[in-house]
Structure 1
Amino acid sequence: MTNVNIPHVLVVDDDPAMRELLADYLGDNDIRVTVACNGTEMAAAFESFAIDLIVLDLRMPGEDGMQIARRLREQSALPIIIVSGRRDEADRVMALELGADDYLTKPFSSRELLARIRALLRRSAVSASGAGRGTDARAYRFDGWELNIGTRRLTSPMGERVELTNGEFCLLNAFLAAPRQVLSREQLLESSRLYDDVYDRSIDVQILRLRRKIEQDPSHPTFILTVRGAGYVFDAIVEKLSRAVGFPD
């Protein structure tokens, strides 16, 4: 079972033994890992998950790792660690000039890679906190849950996908964008785009359905709380993953 409330690293390497080694080691050290063997699988991973950092091998079938790194850096500020069997200084310099954040030559210590990953994640978290409120969210995390805005995918703390209707997604997105703030029915109606409803009690039905999907006990909710005479409040610590430090759209 997977807890999505931990850092998520994408390992892109055409060597299955290396992918398995890194997935096992990082997974044993509180890092969530997805693996890919080429650029196509990498793109599919970005469509499905909110990735925090990528470990990228330079030698990739069909597309050179340098090309992938260049494209990633053009589209995002996602932390990138290049790993390669090439020991030439020119390759290291080129990778760093393309925007890679770090470079390791094979063979390398898994422990050293873990230390570098953690260092980059700390740096990325600091950058995210200073990015400001004007950046768009690419995902939200709360109490082990993850809502990926681009794919509209809600993942439970156990790593299971929870299907949402369009209204439920927009409603949850509105709550996560303003955690621990009281939102009136009018604000929620506007955010969830339920313009065809005649009266604001329709939002209560949407909230009831959403509670059934995310609350352990919908009759005694801990996330979506009712504030009598005012509206509702989402009572949880919410982590916002900004596009400014995110993955390509």
Structure 2
Amino acid sequence: MSATRSMSAARSMKAARRAAFPPNWWARLGWALMAVYVVYAAHRLGFVPERFATGLAHGQRFLARMFPPNFDRWGLIQSGIIESIQIAVIATVAGILLALPLGFLAARNLMPPSISWSARAFIALCRSFHPIIVAILFVKAIGFGALAGILALVVASVGFIAKLFAEAIEEISLKQVEAVRATGAGFLAILIMGVVPQVLPRFIGFSTYQLDSNLRNSTMVGIVGGGGIGATLFTAYQRFDFDVVLAILIVIVAMIMLAEIVSGWARRVFQ
């Protein structure tokens, strides 16, 4: 009798283990198809081990020519870094000023559908293209220089901050909004007293993150003619001054790390 019970218990435990981890054949088929497609795409793009090994050898020679870094052109590097910081700061401030009302208009719990969906369509348009593509368009439209880089980063800032700001507004508690409305306050007072206090800490976080992003993107837009340190970097690369390229890269990394420290301090202070 005890042997029968033990066998029954063993069968039930075995069945429970099978039920707990059933094989998902559809998931396995999906992973297998993904692996096949990766191999096919790599073959179509010419990704072969021989080419990769050759690239490693070229990369080793390229890195050897970069050391030691050359800071003899520090004046040129400094002017490029200062211009990149100015581009990032101006673009971030302008993007925040434009994204703030646009985020309110895109919030579906505050605005009628016709207004919110129109605002969201404009935000999606701003987010549809990479800043480099937008910078190329502005360079063709208004010429080379920092203004093209600023406008490109303003578009990127509006698309990022307005979207996240609208989503933050949609997640607020409407009880505070109803309490302010019950006092007879107007729409603007409701936004200032009932909505802004709930989303202000997150809005500050979005803004500081966008400043970091604009500092990085200011380098990329400079490569296509948007001014800043990117133009200096591209010029040094064209002249095969790879030691100067390394010096510029070191300065860019230091700038981004310093911006991260400052943004973290700002979040702690203002939140």
Max Rg structure: 2
Per the normalisation by structure 2, the TM-score is: 0.27
Larger % of helix: which? 2
Which is bigger in relative contact order (C-alpha 8 A, separation at least 6)? 2
